[in-house]
């Protein structure tokens, strides 16, 4: 198939006016980027607004939102949910869903902590084992979704319950112990402001963004999520991207689990479900402008969504808001965001009479001396 | 046409193409030859086999028998991408585009160019550059490779599909009713693109119902009828009237129940005066009690939209509607039902029935939701209504998805009869149902007229329109093109619907 990319039909390429290069350079700047900026720009605009409100509210409590400690706290809070939400973005983009992330997180913490037994010598092996197990869980879900056509919602719910059942029968209370090296990572950072965990989040976000923009896999993720039959008609093999998205999602949940472990020091079979990472990650993805139905969205948007949640949580923590009101605010934000995005209209036949779009110019047919 | 292309070699030769679905032969032993640089028109009535032929050449359907050679080499396609790689691309009426992706991403989907051979990253700069070159090669200005397809008009999306076809180095491009959804100035743009393509030696297989267009564009015309090849002639040897004659004139195979003598056409039930909105314009018509009015026209001429407008799916922007002499303002289907309008939709599986619910629940659906107080009575009457319609089913609890098309349609009819309609709007009432069920639908229409119901029926089957209607209204491009009496000839209806030589038809 790569041979067909060498396509340019000769008569199309030959006649080239001098202005062509100028026009082409202008066209090379993707017009879509401006529009994409609109939608992610909106999210970051909301984020700035939320931060502004938070600064005022934190100030009213006699504290400084931009203090070293507070920024550290916000960025740390973003890291775990952020990594999970990156994985969730991939799965949602391809048209699936992953409800198993909290259980995968718990599983990874007990496996990693159990393997490390508090010794630095075990870090590599324990990390590998934990992430490999996560990848396996993701692989099973990917196969269920792509080959058996089980919807991701049900596949991940079922697998999540299986993992949860395994954890419940084999682990009571905390398990194992994180190696000192990992704990150190949980405390380390740049200039006491940016935690290492947040750097890991940013690097992951960058890598996944590159994956989505510059690999066929990434392009095909969007295509399958956008319209599976169009993707198939265009010769896209649909199974591999779906499987890859699920595997990556579970692995990112595993990495998030290691970051959690670096802070808590012990593995816990319930830490994931306590964090409610399933619904919060989906909410962050949707808040970040990704279509829940798939085919449209970005990791940058998701990070914005995660940041909005982290800042809200932070300021509500500073103000000692009661937990029920916290949930109320979170829920309100989610519903509001989705209501805004849902205004996107349904595709229908364009009206025949009274259309008001600008029209394309008809070229003079003499122009091309083919 | 440029002189270089007048004697093009055959680029695509299809011989003996045959296809049947479920034992029903839709295309029999068809031969077709396309020359480089020609626009080859493919015409025929709805169901003549044009789409089937295109889909076989596009690799969507595999032919039962027959061979295809492209540029002298025998080919067989089992996937659209294979056909495209071999040089046969198709622009379907339903576009295969991803709305949330850019023009470039759509064109190169599945074969994105990569840097450094097979392992490198996708070369997005090259994708954009090549896309801009493709668009420039088609003479299109104002489209950017990076624009999301969602932001394009239908005409622009069609251009993207054509550019995609060209990007495969297509030798043959099939176009299925490409102008059906275009405005006039957009049609001009399409023509100029087609001219550029033929100048490069691309052969175009052009399917259209619009005869003017066919004569304007095509050098050769192939006519199909009932799945058979009728004729292939140079366009200059044909006149519009001759073409219409070749397209129709088949024997009537369906029997229509006679008009009952005891029915008298009564007062005006439904009247539209100058009705218009985004889909139809300047529609003035009357349907009287006990009358069946047929609404003929090509696909996309606005017939369905007219029924939907009357029923309240689309708002009426201009003009007025009245029912039994008093003004009728419906702004939602629910209000349409409350006014006792019934609407039998074209697509019963998507819009008519809840497929995984029982016959009884489906049949009672409308009454229960709109006239809940009458639902107990309707529940008692329904078994009688259904058996009167000869619904063949194991029990009334059976899910409708397991019924035949004909029985499904009877369930749809039963649900509308339960509201005692004053006006019945029917859209393709006999599409996809067997002869027996068809006959029962026709009888039911006669029964309805006996009860003083007004029937407005859209149908693409000309014999049906002619055999059942008291009057025939013909639509073209969203407006009424004219009226013909009951028993008008198929030629006359088709001529009016296509805008061909309307003066001889009238």
Residue A213 with chain B: CB contacts under 8 Å: 122, 124
Q: Which residues of A touch B147 (CB under 8 A)?
A: 31-32
Residues B124 and B197 in one domain: yes
Inside any domain, residue A331:
yes
List CB contacts (< 8 A) between B134 and chain A.
8, 12
Q: Based on the domain organization, do B14 and B144 belong to the same domain?
A: yes
Distances (CA, A) of A317 to A70, A311, A312, A322: 11, 10, 8, 9
Same domain, B224 and B187: yes
Query: Is residue B397 domain-shared with residue B425, that is, in the same domain?
Result: no
What is the per-residue pLDDT for A289? 87
Q: How far is CA B464 from CA A306, B32, B42, B398, B485, in A?
A: 61, 31, 24, 31, 14
pLDDT tens across the length of chain B (506 residues): 344 444 578 899 999 999 887 767 788 888 999 999 999 999 887 667 888 899 999 998 888 888 999 988 888 888 888 999 999 999 988 888 999 899 999 999 988 998 887 778 999 999 999 999 999 988 888 889 999 998 888 888 999 999 999 999 899 999 988 887 777 778 888 999 999 999 999 999 999 877 888 898 999 999 988 888 888 999 888 888 888 888 775 544 456 777 777 777 889 999 999 999 888 999 999 999 999 999 998 877 889 999 999 999 999 999 999 999 999 999 999 999 999 999 999 888 778 888 889 999 999 989 888 888 888 898 999 999 998 888 888 788 888 888 888 889 999 999 999 999 999 999 999 887 777 788 889 989 999 999 999 999 998 888 888 889 999 999 988 899 999 998 888 888 888 888 775 444 33
In a shared domain, residues B115 and B88: yes
Same domain membership, residue B182 and residue B98: yes
Q: Are residues B215 and B176 in the same domain?
A: yes
pLDDT tens across B58-84, in order? 998 888 888 999 988 888 888 888 999
Q: Chain A neighbours among B 151-190 (CB < 8 Å)?
A: 151, 153-156, 159, 166-169, 181, 183, 185-186, 188-189
Is residue B329 within 8 angstroms of chain A, CB to CB?
A: no
Residue A9 with chain B: CB contacts under 8 Å: 137, 166, 169, 200
How many structural domains is chain A composed of?
1
The number of distinct structural domains making up chain B is 3
Contact list in B for residue A94 (CB cut-off 8 A) is none
Q: Which two tokens stand for residue B141?
A: 């200005």
- Asked if the structure places residue A35 within a domain, the reply is no
Question: Are residues B204 and B82 located together in one domain of the fold?
Answer: yes
Q: Which of A11, A23, A233 sits opposite B200 (nearest CB)?
A: A11
For residues B326 and B378, state if they share a domain.
no
**B51 close to B199: Cβ distance less than 8 angstroms:** no
Q: Is residue B13 part of a domain?
A: yes
Last residue of a domain, one of B361, B385, B419: B419
Residue A214 placed within a domain: yes
Measuring CA to CA, how many Å separate A270 from each of A106, A110, A277, A312? 6, 10, 11, 24
**Residue B332 lies in domain:** 266-340+421-506
| CATH number of the domain residue B325 falls in | 3.40.50.300
DSSP H helical ranges for chain A = 10-13, 20-28, 31-60, 68-93, 101-116, 123-146, 152-170, 180-187, 196-214, 216-226, 228-233, 239-264, 271-275, 277-287, 299-318, 323-341
Q: Inter-chain contact B101–A223, Cβ cutoff 8 Å?
A: yes
CB neighbours (10 Å) of residue B377?
A: 12
Which residue is closest to B302 within chain A, CA to CA?
A: A352
Give CA–CA dist B44/B208, Å, rounded: 9
pLDDT at res. A22: 36
Q: What is the pLDDT of residues A83-99, one digit of tens each?
A: 999 999 999 999 999 99
Place of tokens 């690799």: B59
pLDDT for residue A256: 96
Name the residue facing B199 among A4, A27, A370 (closest C-beta).
Answer: A370
CA distance A368 to chain B (A): 8
Distance from CA of A367 to the nearest CA of B (A): 8
Q: Which residues of chain A have pLDDT under 50?
A: 1-37, 345-350, 355-358, 364-370
Amino acid A36: pLDDT? 43
Distance CA A100, CA A293 (A): 18
Q: Report the pLDDT value the prediction gives residue B252, as an integer from 0 to 100.
A: 44
| Same domain for B273 and B169 | no
Domain contains B122? yes
Do B373 and B485 reside in the same domain of the chain?
no
- The predicted pLDDT at position B5 comes to 41
Asked whether residue B188 falls in the same domain as residue B215, the answer is yes
B255 found inside a domain: no
Q: How far is B376 from chain A (nearest CA, A)?
A: 37
The SS3 call for residue B230 is strand
Nearest by CB to residue B81, choosing from A9, A30, A235, is: A235
Q: Which domain holds residue A209?
A: 80-341
Q: Is B96 on the interface with A (CB under 8 A)?
A: yes
């Amino acid at each position: 198939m790569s041979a067909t990319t060498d396509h340019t039909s000769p008569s199309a390429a030959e006649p080239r006016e001098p202005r062509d290069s100028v026009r082409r350079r202008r066209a090379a700047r993707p017009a879509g980027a401006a529009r994409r900026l609109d939608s992610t720009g909106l999210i970051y605009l909301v984020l700035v607004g939320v931060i502004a409100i938070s600064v005022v509210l934190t100030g009213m409590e006699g504290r400084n939102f931009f203090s070293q400690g507070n920024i550290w706290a916000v960025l740390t809070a973003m890291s775990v949910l952020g990594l999970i939400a990156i994985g969730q973005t991939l799965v949602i983009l391809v048209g699936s869903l992953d409800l198993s992330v909290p259980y995968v997180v718990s599983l990874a913490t007990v496996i990693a902590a159990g393997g490390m037994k508090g010794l630095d010598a075990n870090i590599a092996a324990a990390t590998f084992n934990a992430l490999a197990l996560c990848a396996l869980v993701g692989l099973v879900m990917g196969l269920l979704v792509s080959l058996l056509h089980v919807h991701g919602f049900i596949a991940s719910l079922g697998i999540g319950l299986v993992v949860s059942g395994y954890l419940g029968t084999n682990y009571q209370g905390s398990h194992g112990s994180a190696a000192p090296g990992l704990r150190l990572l949980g405390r380390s950072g740049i200039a006491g402001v940016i935690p290492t965990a947040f750097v890991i989040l940013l690097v992951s976000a960058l890598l996944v963004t590159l994956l989505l923009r510059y690999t066929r896999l990434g392009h095909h993720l969007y295509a399958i999520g956008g319209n599976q039959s169009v993707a198939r008609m265009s010769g896209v093999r649909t199974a591999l991207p779906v499987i890859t998205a699920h595997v990556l999602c579970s692995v990112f949940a595993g990495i998030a689990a290691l970051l959690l472990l670096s802070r808590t020091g012990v593995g816990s079979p319930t830490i994931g479900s306590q964090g409610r990472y399933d619904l919060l990650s989906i909410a962050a993805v949707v808040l970040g402008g990704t279509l829940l139905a798939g085919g449209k969205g970005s990791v940058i948007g998701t990070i914005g969504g995660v940041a909005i949640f982290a800042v809200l949580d932070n300021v509500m923590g500073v103000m000692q808001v009661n937990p029920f009101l916290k949930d109320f605010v979170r829920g309100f934000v989610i519903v509001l965001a989705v209501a805004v995005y849902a205004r996107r209209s349904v595709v229908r036949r364009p009206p025949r009479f009274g259309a008001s779009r600008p029209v394309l110019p008809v070229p003079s047919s003499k122009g091309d001396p083919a | 046409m440029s002189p270089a292309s007048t004697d093009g070699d055959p680029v695509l030769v299809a011989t003996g193409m045959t296809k049947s679905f479920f034992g029903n032969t839709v295309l029999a032993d068809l031969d077709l030859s396309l020359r480089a640089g020609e626009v080859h028109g493919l015409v025929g009535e709805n169901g003549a086999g044009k789409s089937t032929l295109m889909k076989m050449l596009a690799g969507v359907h595999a032919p039962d028998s027959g061979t295809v050679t492209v540029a002298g080499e025998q080919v067989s396609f089992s996937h659209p991408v294979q056909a495209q790689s071999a040089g046969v691309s198709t622009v379907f009426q339903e576009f295969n585009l991803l709305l949330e992706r850019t023009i470039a991403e759509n064109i190169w989907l599945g074969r994105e160019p990569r840097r450094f051979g097979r392992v490198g990253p996708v070369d997005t700069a090259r994708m954009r550059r090549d896309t801009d070159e493709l668009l420039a090669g088609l003479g299109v200005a104002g489209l950017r490779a990076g624009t999301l397809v969602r932001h394009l008009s239908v005409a622009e999306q069609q251009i993207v599909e054509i550019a995609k076809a060209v990007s495969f180095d297509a030798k043959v491009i099939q176009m299925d009713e490409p102008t059906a959804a275009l405005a006039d100035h957009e049609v001009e743009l399409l023509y100029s693109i087609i001219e550029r393509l033929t100048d490069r030696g691309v052969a175009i297989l052009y399917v259209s119902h619009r005869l003017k267009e066919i004569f304007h564009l095509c050098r050769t015309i192939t006519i199909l009828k009932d799945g058979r090849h009728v004729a292939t002639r140079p366009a200059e040897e044909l006149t519009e009237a001759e073409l219409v004659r070749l397209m129709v004139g088949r024997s009537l195979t369906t029997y229509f129940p006679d008009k009952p003598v005891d029915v008298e056409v009564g007062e005006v039930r439904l009247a539209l005066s100058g009705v218009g909105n985004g889909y139809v314009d300047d529609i003035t018509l009357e349907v009287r009690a006990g009358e069946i009015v047929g609404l003929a026209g090509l696909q996309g001429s606005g017939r369905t939209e007219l029924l939907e407008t009357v029923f309240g799916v689309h708002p009426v922007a201009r003009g007025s509607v009245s029912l039994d002499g008093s003004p009728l303002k419906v702004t939602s289907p629910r209000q349409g039902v409350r006014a006792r309008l019934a609407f039998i939709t074209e697509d019963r599986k998507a819009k008519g029935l809840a497929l995984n619910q029982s016959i009884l629940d489906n049949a009672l659906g409308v009454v229960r939701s709109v006239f809940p107080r009458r639902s107990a009575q309707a529940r008692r009457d329904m078994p009688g209504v259904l058996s009167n319609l000869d619904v063949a089913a194991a029990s009334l609890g059976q899910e409708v998805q397991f019924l035949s098309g004909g029985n499904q349609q009877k369930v749809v009819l039963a649900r509308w009869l339960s509201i005692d309609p004053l006006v019945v709007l029917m859209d393709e009432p006999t599409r996809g149902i067997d002869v027996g069920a068809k006959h029962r639908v026709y009888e039911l229409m006669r029964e309805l007229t006996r009860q003083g119901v007004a029937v407005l029926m859209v149908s693409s089957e000309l014999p049906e329109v002619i055999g059942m209607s008291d009057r025939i209204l013909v639509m073209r491009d969203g407006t009424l093109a004219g009226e013909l009496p009951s028993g008008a000839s198929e030629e006359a209806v088709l001529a009016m619907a296509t805008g061909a030589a309307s003066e001889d038809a009238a």
